[in-house]
Structure 1
């Protein structure tokens, strides 16, 4: 997002702008990085020229967010660029705001504000006032679209990158889990074979020991018999 440049005195204009729409003015904070307005504006629906039944009372921020002066200063920049020479909607809005503290009915406030607006040199035709208000709505609408595009781009870049990393790590963990499971199966198989080998060693050792004993016993018979025969040959047969 490109940062909007603010002209001298814009902070004061921003605070004044905020006071016309918001009851409680928050403390100043650092300005944000904000989007440039697109080249091809989308015109919002025109305000009807019929008498307005509800005044533009100070707006209460939504529960999901809060009014931040860093954005107020940005909107002040947007609206100041859309401002036309001479009295227009802002002067009317300021007059209407000043009348809100008087004990006047709603229609009396609007009639008095309209009379004061005309006395300032404003156009006598209410449609000119409505058109100027629509110009500010158009500027804000264009800025909102540009801001939405920057938010989408930031989500794609930041959140999208983190989502890809998340998926990659999850896939890697699944692969490692499979490898761990395979290794555990191999360890279990080896342990089973080790237990089996222990029994086989005992059995083979016993068999070999028994075979050795049988060999030695059988050998003793043959050796003993041959030695006995040699002894008897020496005893009974003379050379």
Structure 2
């Protein structure tokens, strides 16, 4: 893919309509997100921070020369001409081939698959970071909660001597319950948003792969 200082912006625009500018740049590493326990389900939606994150991942892993993304951009430029889908793909292919004589449909498919592999690798790294976040945050709080509850059972048998200790632990338990709910909610919502954004990218690429094989023979 050709280099450009606005490459990341172009990647956003060829996958999403009128992608807005983000006030905060996308981080270089997978965005830290924090899911609820697996038993709880939260519906996700494409999240702008993940949209820009994936664009950054693809930008950093773009392949040299013309490939799937240049074709995708050509296809996007023809989207408002009112052409049928097959006509749109064929017109985009004709325009693309005019500037890239050595390109063939199999190269588009192979490079698209390489980008899918890149996104999948990023997802796997992201999910590992989610699991770590669960262990460190929610798991730690839940372990502390269980430990304090057990301690209170023991302290109850020594009410006279340790009344102040029991009161202190109960106060902490109330706070922990709120922290568990808050952290779990943030973790699961961000995870769901990541998955929805990942699905948006991969569905679009997979659709193009299917249509390249269908229309460009």
Is TM-score (shorter-chain normalized) higher than 0.5? Answer: yes
**8 Å CA contact retained: 1:18, 1:72:** yes
Matches within 5 A, 1:85-104: 85-104=64-83
Tell me if the contact between 1:89 and 1:129 (Cα under 8 Å) persists in the aligned partners: yes
Aligned ranges 1:59-208 → 2 under 5 Å? 63-68=43-48, 70-121=49-100, 123-180=102-159
Name segments (4+ residues, structure 1) moved above 6 Å: none
Deviation at 1:24, TM superposition (A): 4.4
- Distance of aligned partners of 1:179 and 1:18 in 2 relative to their CA distance in 1, 3 Å threshold: same
1:18 aligns with 2:12: yes
Alpha-carbon offset, residue 131 of structure 1: 0.4
Deviation at 1:171, TM superposition (A): 1.4
Separation in structure 2 between the aligned mates of residue 155 and residue 80 of structure 1, nearest angstrom: 29
Larger Rg, first or second structure (1 or 2) = 1
Shift of 1:178: 4.1
Distance 1:145 1:89 in 2: 23
Q: Secondary structure at the match of 2:47?
A: coil
Matches within 5 A, 1:8-47: 9=5, 12-30=6-24, 31-32=26-27, 34-35=29-30
C-alpha contact 1:87 1:120 (8 A) present in aligned 2? no
Alpha carbons 1:14, 1:75 under 8 Å: kept = no
**Which runs of 5 or more residues in structure 2 are unaligned?**
32-41, 163-217
Report the TM-score when normalising by structure 2: 0.59
Structure with more contact order per residue of length (Cα contacts < 8 Å, sep ≥ 6): 2
TM-score by length of 1: 0.54
- 8 Å contact kept, 1:17–1:76: yes
Structure 1 distance, partners of 2:80, 2:143, is 56
Q: Is the 8 A contact 2:8 2:59 kept in 1?
A: no
Task: Assess if the C-alpha contact under 8 Å between 2:30 and 2:53 holds in 1.
Answer: no
Whole-Å separation in 1 of the counterparts to 2:149 and 2:44 = 32
| 1:91 Cα deviation from its structure 2 partner | 0.7
Unaligned runs of 5+ in 1: 1-6, 37-61, 184-239
Deviation, structure 1 residue 174: 2.5
For the aligned residue pairs, the C-alpha RMSD in angstroms reads 2.9
Count of residue correspondences: 149
Report Cα offsets for 1:42-81 as digits up to 9, x if no partner: xxxxxxxxxxxxxxxxxxxx9513322x333332332123
